[in-house]
Amino acid sequence: MTLRRTRAMARKEFLHILRDPRSLLMALALPLLMILLFGYALTLDVDRIPTYIYDRDKTPESRELISRFQGSRYFQILGAAEGYAAIERAIDKSECMLGVAIPRDYARNLLAGREAQVQFLLDGSDSNTASIAQGYAAALVQSYTLELRSRAQNRSAGGKLAPPIDARLRIWYNAELRSKNYVVPGLIALIMMIIASLLTSLTIAREWEMGTMEQLLSTPVRAPEIVLGKMLAFFALGLVDMIVTIVVGVLIFGVPLRGSILFLAATGCIFLTGALCWGILLSALTRSQLLAYQLGMLSSFLPAFLLSGFVFAIENMPIPIQAVSLVFPTRYFVTILKGIFLRGIGMEVLWLEVVLLLVYAILVFVIATRKLHQKVA
């Protein structure tokens, strides 16, 4: 393998990219469109929960509880219900998710130290959102109940009673608990895997379909030089896409970048190399642009979305699925990105993920070269 032939192959592919302005524009605009669309649409935050409140007690204490719901950013009070039937109709019409029913004698039981109940009526169609909404509502009611009982005890004791435990929470890495800080780094890995594999999944197949592969094979250029040359041409395009997605994540979505930019660039290049070589491997195996595109989308999007830890925690998956996820590089790159962006850690912690990414890139490059050599033979 010589550098001169590899450079000539890369120049040929680069010129081909420049002569197709529509594909070039799509390759540059698609990552920007995807990160903006997914970044704004995909959120794990549960707030402004549509809520109706049915107050049967109508005491200052119940009205103060209602004001707590109104003052919380997690709830959007749609109005006061006149009965259970109104709440049920609103839930049936998907107008509200939560109904809060305050029973009679709520304040009397609470101030007397007896059990005071508050009923929650939830739309369980979306079980995850409903459980989160239930947790928010229960925490708010419990906090207000403890505060109200503490007031009553202070008045009866003639002094201020200190709580037995002073609990103070400290949240590391994502103090505001913004889901964007969790989603966007994984979204960068997802977009890069899709774009990189799709960019190169058509290149070898297009040569076969256009009949230019035979002309290419008649030259002294070898299979490793073909793979490396084509990969280098799209590597420059992939770097631009990676920079665009990172800049959008930091400047538009406000995701903190606490780690080393150089470490981010190095690991991104390794991941990008593996993803590009994977697309070339698919193209060499199929010889069909349509089939290569379909396999590229199937093998990049679904594993990157479902099995990388991007949205769904791998630790909660069945053991066989966790074992399958070890094959896909996006799992390791998502871990690296979250470590760099949120935790500010580097090679001293993420060395195993970096090594596995490097092994994947080398392995896919070798397999793609051998498969192309077999096609040549």
What's the predicted TM-score (pTM) here?
0.78
Q: Do residues 252 and 292 both lie within one domain?
A: yes
Q: What SS3 string covers 284-301?
A: HHHCCHHHHHHHHHHHHH
Q: For the chain, how many structural domains are there in total?
A: 2
> What domain range includes position 209?
3-43+178-376
Domain closes at, from 128, 157, 186: 157
25 assigned to some structural domain: yes
**Residue-level pLDDT, tens digit, the chain, 377 residues:** 677 777 777 787 778 777 777 777 777 888 888 888 888 877 777 788 899 999 988 888 888 889 989 888 889 998 888 888 889 988 888 888 999 998 888 888 877 777 778 889 998 887 778 888 888 888 888 888 877 777 766 665 555 555 555 556 677 777 777 778 888 888 899 888 888 888 887 777 777 777 676 666 667 777 777 778 878 888 888 898 899 999 999 999 888 899 999 999 999 999 999 998 898 888 878 877 788 888 888 888 888 888 888 877 888 888 998 899 899 999 999 999 999 998 889 899 999 999 999 999 999 988 888 877 665 55
Q: How many C-beta atoms lie closer than 10 Å to residue 130's C-beta?
A: 18
Residue 166 counted as domain residue: no
User: Cβ distance 242 to 325 under 8 Å?
Assistant: no
Residue by residue, DSSP assigns 225-275 as HHHHHHHHHHHHHHHHHHHHHHHHHHHTS-----S-HHHHHHHHHHHHHHH
CATH number at residue 147: 3.40.1710.10
Indicate if 209 and 351 belong to the same structural domain: yes
**Residues 97 and 12 occupy one common structural domain:** no
- Are 25 and 56 within one domain? no
